[in-house]
Amino acid sequence: MSNTTKPEESTATTLSATEQESEASTNDGLVNFNENFQLDDCGVLNFDKSSKLRPKNWSYNKKLKHTVIYGLITFAAQLNSTTMATSIFPDLVKGEFGIQREVALLTTTLYIIGIAFGPMVFAPLSEVYGRKLGVLIPFLISAIFTFAAASTYDVAGMMICRFFAGFFAGAPIVSAGGVLADIWEPAQRGTFFALYACFVATGPAFGPTISSLLMHSEDKDSAWRIPQYFSGLLSCTLFMLSQFISEETYEPLLLAKMAKQMRINTNNWSIHAKHDEWTLTWDELVKVHFIRPFRMLVTPIVFVIALFASYVYGIFYLIITTMPEAFTISRGWYGTVATLPNISLFGGVLVGCSFQMLATKRYARLLEANNGVALPEESFSLMIFTAWMMPAGIFIFGWTSSSDIHWIVPCIGIWLIGTGFITIFQGSLNYLVDAHTRYSASVIAANTFLRSVFAASFPLFSKQLFNNLGVHWGSSLIGFIALGMLPIPYLFYKYGSRIRAKTSSKVL
């Protein structure tokens, strides 16, 4: 990683008027040499803290615009993960290709497995080429593979295209969070990460509903292709929109661009940025970005918390993919109508994100009182009060699925699942990042990998689970496991600091 620490004040100097005489701008209009910079004795360029070119000093509206646009990009990437998870999709592809339900479900599984591996490649690339190129180019390639999946007449080709569509979609899913870290101060970051989490969670929640509507627009076996074309067009539209209205947010790369322009304008060839001193090597890519996340995953803290977050993430995908079938069996709801309970899931996610925003305001006050030193265990303070909603929602959903009980009751259970899911998921991620600040990219990659494995595998055994145990006891089995995990937030809130003190930090 490139180290962009600010030089000591005693060795830093503000650029002279001579060095600021020339004004220049790059194609994206970011560079203006009338701003103040600082050079240390070695010619390393840094922003002045008050520079308006620093992404953290952008206006509130500009930062909010970037939060929303990258949130929408992640929404589209996540939406595509469940466009083939509708109850009618297996029947359509069976009619066209003659494959069974389990094989058809691999289209969702392979996309999510692609997401599991993508971050390990694209996270470091976004730190070499910047967030904009590091997110938008893979996002466009994902759209191309989505179009290819929609156009193929071969099962193997469709599966391969779905994997690579997910692999390249991993770039916005992992790097968009880096954009938020680039532009928001720590005290504000939690609120906007909660907002961003809404986009992450609602993508897969709305995928089956949108997909079902589009599939029913054409009465042919090939109707499954329409949602893929829609997803590809949505991605291309967001790519073009982002290309025009978004700017680079990665400060080290911005400084490298400015240093290059300054060398040309001032003929001072010693001016450079820290980013210019770093080159990503294959050795670093393998040892740091591929191996380190797995080494971190076997440490007690990361494994337990990532396991908890991944389990609820797997349940989230399980509910999304099996809910339409459950409502079809128990209530005779078909097609798009059977996917509408996902609105309850979305409502629960919104409530959970609202809780998370309130909790981050409290955390900001605690952070200020602690002189800016992170308090990782405080990430569990909200989770202690909301984690019960996940198993409670699962039990309510499972035991009220009978047709003689009003449909609003299982929808309340689904609502609780959404609220419990997002508070556990976001709280766990916040804890892992705060507890491993130095290796935050690796711990995020480890968490993304494990949760994607759970999300990819859970829908595969859902039919067997509910067919063998029934909806009541199948849901109860999942609920009891979630119930057994309830003590985790409390135990880590109380003993987490002691565990961290005893855990080796040698993960390199």
Q: What is the pLDDT of residues 312-365, one digit of tens each?
A: 999 999 888 888 877 877 787 877 888 888 889 999 999 999 998 888 888 888
Q: 389: burial class by Cβ within 10 Å (0-12, 13-18, 19+)?
A: buried
In degrees and rounded to multiples of 5, residue 487 shows phi and psi of: -70, -15
Token pair of 419 as six digits: 């609220």
152 dihedral zone (left: phi>0; alpha: psi -120 to 50; beta): beta
Residue-wise pLDDT tens digits, 431-455: 888 887 767 777 888 888 899 999 9
Give the separation between CA 463 and CA 470, rounded to whole angstroms. 10
Q: Which residues have C-beta within 8 Å of that of residue 63, sequence separation ≥ 6?
A: 55, 183, 184
0.95 exceeded by pTM: no
Task: Give pLDDT, residue 42.
Answer: 67
For CA atoms 146, 147, 153, 157, the dihedral sign is negative
Question: How far from chain centre, in Å, is Cα 194?
Answer: 11
Q: List the chain pLDDT tens, one digit each, 508 residues.
A: 444 444 333 344 444 433 443 333 333 433 444 455 666 666 676 766 777 788 888 899 999 999 999 999 999 999 999 998 887 888 888 888 888 888 888 899 999 999 998 888 887 788 778 889 889 999 999 999 999 999 998 899 999 999 999 999 999 988 887 888 888 887 777 788 888 888 988 899 898 889 988 887 676 778 889 999 999 999 999 999 999 999 988 888 887 887 777 787 777 776 767 766 677 677 777 777 778 888 888 888 888 899 999 999 999 998 888 888 778 777 878 778 888 888 899 999 999 999 988 888 888 888 888 877 778 888 888 999 999 999 999 999 989 988 888 999 999 999 999 999 999 988 888 888 888 776 777 788 888 889 999 998 888 887 778 778 888 888 899 999 989 989 988 988 888 788 777 665 554 4
Token pair of 508 as six digits: 């390199």
Give the separation between CA 86 and CA 217, rounded to whole angstroms. 14
Give the separation between CA 475 and CA 480, rounded to whole angstroms. 9
Task: Give pLDDT, residue 40.
Answer: 65
- Please check whether residue 478 is in contact with residue 315, taking contact to mean a CB–CB distance below 8 angstroms: yes
Residues 332, 337, 339, 343, Cα dihedral to 10°: -130
The type of residue at 136 is: L
Task: Give pLDDT, residue 37.
Answer: 64
Give the separation between CA 43 and CA 259, rounded to whole angstroms. 10
Task: Give pLDDT, residue 39.
Answer: 64
Structural domains of the chain, with CATH: 45-249 (1.20.1250.20), 282-502 (1.20.1250.20)
Token pair of 332 as six digits: 């005779």
Give the separation between CA 51 and CA 62, rounded to whole angstroms. 15
| Helix H or strand E encompassing 13 | strand 13-14
- Please check whether residue 352 is in contact with residue 423, taking contact to mean a CB–CB distance below 8 angstroms: yes
- Please check whether residue 150 is in contact with residue 158, taking contact to mean a CB–CB distance below 8 angstroms: no
Give the separation between CA 377 and CA 356, rounded to whole angstroms. 15
